[in-house]
Chain A
């Protein structure tokens, strides 16, 4: 029924209208087909050895400009005067230009990014607090897939004006571990053990040399920096193995990590005679009792830190 209605409607049209309609359809179909063909030929044969990023940019340029040309050709077939349209477009363009400043800024930033090539598709980027793999680089934005599988779109303007770290640009990287060893450890032994750990780790490169630095005297211990070079693809293996290695070897060698701790040494109670606590003799006896109690208390196991209750007991004034 519907089809019959369309046929009846077509019969009512004049031959001129029918011819024009047919030409419009053919122009649009052929034009779009030509644009598509041009994009495919360019990608497959002319840009076979180009980077994915460059191929994508060329494909989009061909696609967008081809589409505009096809639309103009169709409008020409419909008898729309392009000069009048362009005049109107100038007025509309001013209005649209004001409204689309951000978009234009992003496009220009995108062109800069494409020409500067600070990163490519597949690189791992860190921008602000976002770290992930680049999925695409477009004229308006780049798309990133984070390691917890989130899709993040970052406008090009923001990328151009902020600090961007390309983590996988170079083939090798250095992993820095910073930790503290307890005061009282033999630092030359610590250095020897760390050298052996670096040498024995299967993912650590022996060239460039590992970096072992005693960087600072901290509140609880000596700060150590262990920097190991590795191939960029081995990040996870390296991270897990080196943490395990350091912990196991330190345990085996009896090297203690530094932990935050406070040592509280209470003053001996020296109160003037007849003070609040009672007679001086009573105070001394109480201190002796407290001292004897501390002495009878079993010693803390090696490596255990004094707990809050220990400190509280230590600080408690003698009765």
Chain B
């Protein structure tokens, strides 16, 4: 990073400013309101950096490197489709879910230290499950895309391919889908960010839903590079409450 310069990462809904002053890293996160889906990075003269009391200061050894990377949110994400959708018995489909990513800044050295972790878009808080045993999640109202072409290319979203099979005798209504994104990694493609693929098998409302996580990069694009690990490993992750039904939640 050049001395006497600030770096700005600008995303559709947020700008991150980073500056190095001797052994300190100064970081500022500011909301943005642009309609562009693209993001860019630029160097700005120190005299033009925004004056704010929100600058955060981190001590680090001189000459250390900073590594920015996209990571997935720290809690499960509950996706609410913008229209009612029903998967008929015996059918299967693939959805492409846009998961909002966070901006993480690591300080590289003998040990990678997390400096800064910030959501790039505004997420709402929501609750999945009943008020006693449910879990706190991030809420996201979005469209369940059947085709990759309809998914906007955006710098602050990662595409999560979700294959769903309805092996039950009942309709599967998609009202809410809870994705445990803290167990997923992020991969970088030519234009998009990707997460691991998910494979869900619905066997009926009184049965557990089996979720399988693919540890390899999704096969929708060639040459994907992993840019961040999952926040938490996923042992025994294959059985989870995932689908929110009209009158009940599948539970185990």
Q: Is the pairing of A and B real?
A: yes
Report which residue of B128, B131, B132, B139 has the largest number of chain A beta carbons within 10 angstroms of its beta carbon. Answer: B131
Interface of B is mostly: strand
Query: Which of A199, A204, A231 is the one whose CB lies under 8 Å from B136?
Result: A231
Q: Tell me the nearest residue of chain A to B139, going by C-beta.
A: A206
Query: Which of B78, B125, B134, B135 is the one whose CB lies under 8 Å from A203?
Result: B125
A226 close to B (CB within 8 Å): no
The answer on a CB contact under 8 Å between B126 and A207 is yes
Asked whether A204 and B131 contact (CB < 8 A) given A171-B136, A231-B136, the answer is no
B127 close to A (CB within 8 Å): yes
Asked whether A229 and B127 contact (CB < 8 A) given A206-B139, A207-B78, the answer is yes
Q: Which residues of A contact B127 (CB under 8 A)?
A: 172, 205, 207-208, 229
Instruction: List which A218-233 residues lie within 8 A (CB) of chain B.
Output: 229-231
* Closest beta carbon of chain B to A164's beta carbon, Å: 18
* Closest beta carbon of chain B to A14's beta carbon, Å: 70
Report which residue of B125, B131, B134, B136 has the largest number of chain A beta carbons within 10 angstroms of its beta carbon. Answer: B125
B91 close to A (CB within 8 Å): no
The answer on a CB contact under 8 Å between B136 and A207 is no
Query: Which of A170, A204, A207, A230 is the one whose CB lies under 8 Å from B128?
Result: A207
Q: Tell me the nearest residue of chain A to B137, going by C-beta.
A: A207
A202 close to B (CB within 8 Å): yes
* B contacts with A, residue count (CB < 8 A): 12
The answer on a CB contact under 8 Å between B125 and A202 is yes
* A contacts with B, residue count (CB < 8 A): 14
The answer on a CB contact under 8 Å between B131 and A170 is yes
**A208 CA / B132 CA spacing, docked (Å):** 12
Instruction: List which B91-119 residues lie within 8 A (CB) of chain A.
Output: none
Instruction: List which A139-197 residues lie within 8 A (CB) of chain B.
Output: 170-172
The answer on a CB contact under 8 Å between B132 and A231 is no
**A171 CA / B128 CA spacing, docked (Å):** 12
Q: Which residues of B contact A208 (CB under 8 A)?
A: 127, 131
The answer on a CB contact under 8 Å between A207 and B132 is no
**A11 CA / B139 CA spacing, docked (Å):** 84
The answer on a CB contact under 8 Å between B131 and A206 is no
**A213 CA / B131 CA spacing, docked (Å):** 21
**A171 CA / B137 CA spacing, docked (Å):** 12
The answer on a CB contact under 8 Å between B131 and A205 is no
Q: Which residues of A contact B134 (CB under 8 A)?
A: 171-172
Q: Which residues of B contact A170 (CB under 8 A)?
A: 131-132
Q: Which residues of B contact A202 (CB under 8 A)?
A: 125
Q: Tell me the nearest residue of chain B to A234, going by C-beta.
A: B125
Annotate B128-148 by CB proximity to A: 1 below 8 A, 0 otherwise: 100110111001000000000
The answer on a CB contact under 8 Å between B132 and A206 is no
The answer on a CB contact under 8 Å between B136 and A206 is no
Q: Which residues of A contact B78 (CB under 8 A)?
A: 207
* Closest beta carbon of chain B to A176's beta carbon, Å: 15
**A199 CA / B122 CA spacing, docked (Å):** 12
Q: Which residues of A contact B132 (CB under 8 A)?
A: 170-171
The answer on a CB contact under 8 Å between B125 and A231 is yes
* Closest beta carbon of chain B to A210's beta carbon, Å: 12
* Closest beta carbon of chain A to B42's beta carbon, Å: 29
* Closest beta carbon of chain B to A191's beta carbon, Å: 20
Q: Tell me the nearest residue of chain B to A199, going by C-beta.
A: B124
The answer on a CB contact under 8 Å between B139 and A207 is yes
**A205 CA / B125 CA spacing, docked (Å):** 5
Annotate B22-51 by CB proximity to A: 1 below 8 A, 0 otherwise: 000000000000000000000000000000
The answer on a CB contact under 8 Å between A172 and B131 is yes
**A170 CA / B130 CA spacing, docked (Å):** 10
Q: Tell me the nearest residue of chain B to A202, going by C-beta.
A: B125
Q: Which residues of B contact A207 (CB under 8 A)?
A: 78, 126-128, 139
13 further interface pairs, Cβ-Cβ under 8 Å (given A171-B132, A206-B125, A207-B127): A170-B132, A171-B136, A199-B124, A203-B125, A205-B124, A205-B125, A205-B126, A206-B126, A206-B139, A207-B126, A207-B139, A208-B127, A229-B127
16 A-B Cβ contacts within 8 A?
A171-B131, A171-B135, A171-B136, A172-B134, A204-B125, A205-B125, A205-B127, A206-B125, A207-B126, A207-B128, A207-B139, A208-B131, A229-B127, A230-B125, A231-B125, A231-B136
